[in-house]
Amino acid sequence: MRFQLTDEQEALRAGVRALLARRFGPDALRAAVGRPGVLDRALWRELGAAGLFALRLPEAEGGAGGGLPEAVLAFEEAGRALLPGPLVATHLAAGEVAGAASGETVVTDVSGGLVEWLAQADVVRGDASGAVPVRSVDPLTPLHRAAKAARGATPAPDPVAVLLTAAEQLGGAARTCELAVAYARTREQFGRPIGAFQAVKHLCAQSLVRVETARAAVYAAAVTADRLDIATARLLADEAAVRGARDCLQVHGGMGFTWESEVHLFLKRAWVRTHRAGLNTYGDDTLAEDLLSGTA
Amino acid sequence: MELAHSPEEEEFRARLRAWLAEVLPTLPPKPSPGDWPARRAYDLGWQRMLYDAGYAGLHWPVDAGGRGATPTQHLIFLEETEKAGAPYVGANFVGLLHAGPTIAAEGTPGQRARWLPPVLRGEEVWCQGFSEPDAGSDLASLRTRAWRDGDTYVVSGSKIWTSHAEVADWCELLVRTDPSAPKHRGITWLAMPMDAPGVTVRPLRTLAGSNEFAEVFLDEVRVPVANRVGAENDGWRVTMVTLSFERGTAFVGEVVACRRLLRELARAAYDSGRWDDAPLRRRLGRLNAEFRALWRLTQWNVSEAERTGGVPGVGGSVFKLRYSHARQELFDTAAEVLGTGSLDLDHPWVLDRLSSLSYTIAAGTSQIQWNIVAERILGLPKGR
């Protein structure tokens, strides 16, 4: 058993992180918030050229021949950077929708009764007719609510979409833990960094415990692609992302409540992602039913 | 990243399974929990069987008499023995997991030859004399004193939370040999014979009603200087070598057992009609995710230990924190399934629920573990 990243996987992760740091750093994030509803198509093509969408396509089809573990590592980085856009939908469309793999075509889908980035997408998978715009809580994810009839007809969600969403949640959770720690080390009150106080220290430590537990669950699901492993990954990653962002906000105090701070963006994106593929699909009910099945 | 086992690992598992199927039916009946001499005999008997079959000290280094197994093999061993219902490490715990590894790492050749083989063969039991009434989380503030008198130390003080003290042959003891030094630098590690004059053991009744621990009172107990492992006043470092020895496998058997219990809980809820209670059902589903993830975290930590060839360090704190809280949640949920049955001490889950309360306290409270994670992994400043 070698349940650790290979050297190639470490390199892939570092490569994606470097690309996103260069092309979607804090300034680009701020600029994106200032242009709500507009997707950076040049960046999208760059992501395509870098292989984010074609990652799992065979090399003969212009892909990178990667597997789910590679995709999970790349989407974890996307989550860390708060990269906007229908990334998961476009990734899943690669090889099926022309131009998706290369980043020429932006593909979204109807998922969990919602459609992300409908106005900017070239192709919508699923029935978005009659979809109504929502004033989205997340400034970086425009949302439409699918018409009632379409919501009922939504096919069973792709487990890979659930897993890659969990990977994004993991990345966001890891980043909010880092942001909380960085702030706790530098912000001083009562003559010392607030991170010297146990009440603050414990919030940070609890964030890390959630991140590392979720990481094991998400990576294992990437290796096995098992339905129950994916359900486990989803539950743990959603919890790590939402609670991690909440605790990060708390550690930031008043600054965390401002629009200027980036912390709220992590929380809002985490909330949006918990609804992808439907709130309770691949959730605790699936895992409860498993307990009554014969095998351990 | 992979979770598959190598052919060698699968062969190890198959051989172990076959051996367990052969020997477990030959075990004597389990002793009653209150009969300490019988428990000692039972646990030592099991250790002797492991020794005869070549499984004793599986994770110990070969030059200490162990098998030098990989962390993954150790994981398989713990998983399979639990699944087969084999006895727990029990009275051999301190010898195999604390005192033995310390002596293996820091002892002289003579000390290793004297103390390690009887642990592996199931002949001697060790207990641990670390905590004191006034030195719990702040272990380094311990005050049990030891004076030199020729070639012996004279030890006076008291220790607490000592498991198996009533039936132990030896105690790995931390004593203060230099009261004027900074607290971490005046501590010495001694192997104390439990039958030495001046040693008094008093059982300590836990909230579960059982005598799982003891207090140990030391009144001018004479311990040969030859029983000191490591240098005088270097005992803190010597002890930390031990505490980081376990490579992420400390709770493997328990996680396997928790996952089995969770299935029994779901079945009990189903049979009693409680399965239609959606919040309860979801809580069970949530716990399934929790323990599945803890199993994956164990596999991750073991693989990391295998890759680095060393110790997982504070990664063990992350696991311990998550697991100890999950275990309490599991038994609280068991109580919910049992309803009024949760007040009946004759139900085994009720005693397990009571003992689960120690998990967030023993071997470092959760509050101390959070400090460790925050300071040593996240790099937050020390201070209160």
Of A9, A177, A291, the CB nearest to B263: A291
CATH classification of the domain holding A79? 1.10.540.10
Residue A228 DSSP SS3: helix
Q: Are residues A115 and A250 in the same domain?
A: no
Instruction: Please check whether residues A30 and A134 belong to one and the same domain.
Output: yes
Q: pLDDT class for B310, splitting at 50, 70, 90?
A: low
Examine the fold and report which residue of A118, A153, A188 is the final residue of a domain before the chain moves on: A153
Q: For residue B2, list chain A residues with Cβ-Cβ distance below 8 A.
A: 1-3, 223
Coil, helix or strand at residue A132: strand
Is A2 a member of any domain? no
**B278 plus B228 within the same structural domain:** no
CATH of the domain at A220: 1.20.140.10
Q: Is B32 inside a domain boundary?
A: yes
- pLDDT for position A153: 59
**Of B36, B59, B88, which one is at a domain's C-terminal end?**
B88
Q: Kindly state whether residues A141 and A175 are assigned to the same domain.
A: no
Number of domains composing chain A:
2
Residue A276 included in any domain? yes
Q: Which of A107, A135, A153 represents a domain boundary (last residue)?
A: A153
Interface of B with A in 234-263 (CB under 8 A): 259-260, 262-263
Co-location of B222 and B250 in the same domain:
no
Q: Are residues B160 and B83 in the same domain?
A: no
Identity of residue B109? P
Q: What 3 state SS string does chain B have?
A: CECCCCHHHHHHHHHHHHHHHHHHHHCCCCCCCCCHHHHHHHHHHHHHHHHHHCCCCCCCCHHHCCCCCCHHHHHHHHHHHHHCCCCCCHHHHHHHHHHHHHHHHHCCHHHHHHHHHHHHCCCCCEEEECCECCECCCHHHCCCEEEEECCEEEEEEEEEEECCHHHCCEEEEEEECCCCCCHHHCEEEEEEECCCCCEEEEEECCCCCCCCEEEEEEEEEEEEHHHEECCCCEHHHHHHHHHCCCCCCCCHHHHHHHHHHHHHHHHHHHHCCHHHCHHHHHHHHHHHHHHHHHHHHHHHHHHHHHHHCCCCCCHHHHHHHHHHHHHHHHHHHHHHHHHHHHHCCCCHHHHHHHHHCCCCCCCCCHHHHHHHHHHHHCCCCCCC
pTM of the model: 0.95
In a domain, residue A1? The reply is no
Q: Which of B79, B82, B166, B246 is catalytic?
A: B246
What's the mean pLDDT in B301-306? 89
Is residue B150 domain-shared with residue B227, that is, in the same domain?
yes
Instruction: Looking at the structure, tell me whether residues A25 and A141 fall in a common domain.
Output: yes
Provide the residue range defining the domain that includes A261: 159-291
pLDDT tens, position by position, A31-55: 999 999 999 999 999 999 999 999 9
Flag whether pLDDT at B245 surpasses 60.
Answer: no
Q: Domain check: are B250 and B369 in the same one?
A: yes
- Do B48 and B147 belong together in one domain? no
Whether B239 is covered by a domain: the verdict is: no
Q: Determine the pLDDT at residue B264.
A: 96
Residue A268: what pLDDT? 98
**B39 CB neighbour count, 10 Å cutoff:** 19
Residues A253, A280 share a domain: yes
Residue A213 lies in a domain: yes
Q: Does the beta carbon of B318 lie under 8 angstroms from any beta carbon of chain A? A: yes
Task: Enumerate residues 336 to 375 of chain B having a beta carbon within 8 A of any beta carbon in chain A.
Answer: 367, 369-371, 373-375
- Residue A198 in domain: yes
Same domain, B79 and B34: yes
Interface with B, mutate which of A70, A284, A285, A295 (most B CBs under 10 A): A284
Same domain, B262 and B152: no
Domain boundary among B209, B232, B255: B232
What is chain A's mean pLDDT, rounded? 94
Looking at the fold, whether B162 and B84 belong to one and the same domain comes out as no
Model confidence at B201, pLDDT cuts 50, 70, 90, reads: very high
Please tell me which residue of chain A has the smallest CA distance to B302. A3
Q: Is residue B321 part of a domain?
A: yes
Q: Which of A115, A137, A153 is the last residue of a domain?
A: A153
Cβ separation A209–B318 shorter than 8 A: yes
Is residue B184 a part of any domain in this protein?
yes
Q: Which domain holds residue B348?
A: 246-377
Contact between residue A74 and residue A52 where contact means Cβ atoms under 8 Å apart: yes
Q: Has residue B244 got a pLDDT over 60?
A: no
Q: Are residues B253 and B372 in the same domain?
A: yes
- Active-site annotation holds for B123: no
Q: Please state the rounded mean pLDDT for residues B312-333.
A: 89
Together in a domain, B222 and B256: no
Q: Is residue B94 part of a domain?
A: no
Q: Find the CATH number of the domain harbouring B287.
A: 1.20.140.10
B62 and B132 share a domain? no
Instruction: Tell which of B232, B262, B283 closes a domain.
Output: B232
Statement: residue B49 has pLDDT above 90: yes
* Shared-domain flag, residues A124 and A206: no
Q: Do the chains contact at A285 and B282, CB–CB below 8 Å? A: yes
Q: Which contiguous run of DSSP H or E holds residue A110?
A: strand A107-111
Q: How far is B207 from chain A (nearest CA, A)?
A: 28
**pLDDT, tens digit (0-9, with 9 covering 90-100), for B80-132:** 999 999 999 999 999 999 999 999 999 999 999 999 999 999 999 999 999 99
pLDDT confidence of residue B199: 98
The pLDDT of residue B4 is: 95
Q: Which residues of A touch B300 (CB under 8 A)?
A: 3-4, 215-216, 219-220
- Nearest-angstrom CA–CA distance, B173 and B229: 10
pLDDT, tens digit (0-9, with 9 covering 90-100), for B141-183: 999 999 999 999 999 999 999 999 999 999 999 999 999 999 9
Say if A296 falls within a structural domain.
no
Residues A166 and A135 in one domain: no
Q: Give phi and psi for A155, each to the nearest 5.
A: -70, 165
